[in-house]
Amino acid sequence: MDISVVIPLYNEEESLGELHAWIQQVMEANHFSYEVIFIDDGSSDGSWQVIEHLRQAHPEVRGIKFRRNYGKSPALYCGFKAAQGQVVITMDADLQDSPDEIPALYKMIAEEGYDLVSGWKKKRYDPLSKTLPTKLFNATARAASGIHNLHDFNCGLKAYRQEVVKNIEVFGEMHRYIPWLAKNAGFTKIGEKVVQHQARKYGKTKFGLNRFINGYLDLLTLWFLSTFGVQPMHLFGTLGSLMFLIGLISVMIVGGNKLYYILNNLPHRLVTDSPYFYLALTSMIIGTQLFVAGFLGELISRNSEERNKYQIEKTIGN
């Protein structure tokens, strides 16, 4: 099979029939063998009934229905797991992603050898309140991930080599950082294509400001996991040792200052009267806690089944 189109959705019943017809037209015009996988993320409207109706008339349609709303990342995870095509295309169900982009995306994967191609909606039909935070978010993601050639990490329209989607785990709300997940898994040939963005035709946007808060928290999580996930002591141990050393030196300075005054018969106060003593003591306590946190993290990491899981591309011999 050439292509699997994976479409997560939530309350998009008006657009599904039109979207499928558009995909079908593009696929037949280019003679692709394909499947369309709709993942209903706990919709409360008639989305699942539309999918069932499409399946009855079109055998290439497949459907997955969640009992409740889990989010886009779990929907993509299940879609990736079910996909059988050599190239996997993801797109949103709201008709803002154009299926006309599929042939060019497929060519970049199948012929030009890219592992992943992300769409870039260079011209958007979104309000300024959405586009400005999006630009800031993408700039931060580029800096943190080191993938400097992508302008839109969160574009729903992407193409993947099948091997990529079978070797990454999309969890939580990490769908925003799939290119980074792919890079961490060893798939480094990541490209970008300018794609058409269309104004929403049906329904209402699922966009909310909490997306940016969650996005930055997920960014910190992914940075930590990719950098120190296997060796947390390298972070917590270093910070803990530094904090403890600062506290120890400060205590020695306070104690040495007290000893100097005593030896020279000068008026002196109790060490505990100095605020610097308590700051130094606090620094030593925090340093010890950080070091212990790193030690516990190492113990947990060593018992993880993922500790020695590596991406092996090829082997020769036994």
pLDDT of residue 305: 67
40 and 90 within one domain: yes
Residue 144's pLDDT is 86
Are 268 and 159 found together in one domain? no
Q: Are residues 69 and 218 in the same domain?
A: yes
* Final residue of a structural domain among 181, 207, 228: 228
> Within a domain: residue 316?
no
| Chunked mean pLDDT (size 10), the chain, 318 residues | 95 94 96 96 94 95 94 93 96 93 96 95 70 80 89 92 93 88 92 84 63 76 79 89 93 86 81 84 93 87 66 61
Pair (247, 187) in one structural domain? no
- pLDDT for residue 288: 94
Question: Is residue 41 located within the same domain as residue 172?
Answer: yes
Q: Do residues 199 and 251 share a domain? A: no
The answer to whether 41 touches 9, Cβ cutoff 8 Å, is: yes
Same domain, 246 and 276: yes
Query: Based on the domain organization, do 221 and 81 belong to the same domain?
Result: yes
Cα separation, 186 vs 181, in Å, equals: 9
Q: Are residues 81 and 135 in the same domain?
A: yes
- pTM exceeds 0.85, yes or no: no
- Do 35 and 107 belong together in one domain? yes
Asked if residue 318 belongs to a domain, the reply is no
pLDDT value of position 165: 96
What is the pLDDT at residue 20?
97
The confidence score (pLDDT) of residue 193 equals 94
Task: Specify whether 138 is located in the same domain as 252.
Answer: no
Q: Is residue 127 included in any domain, yes or no?
A: yes
Number of domains in the chain: 2
In terms of domains, do 140 and 218 share one?
yes
Q: What is the pLDDT of residue 200?
A: 67
- Domain of residue 59, residue span: 3-228
pLDDT given at position 314: 57
pLDDT at 164: 96
Residue 317 resides in a domain: no
Of 169, 203, 228, the domain-final residue: 228
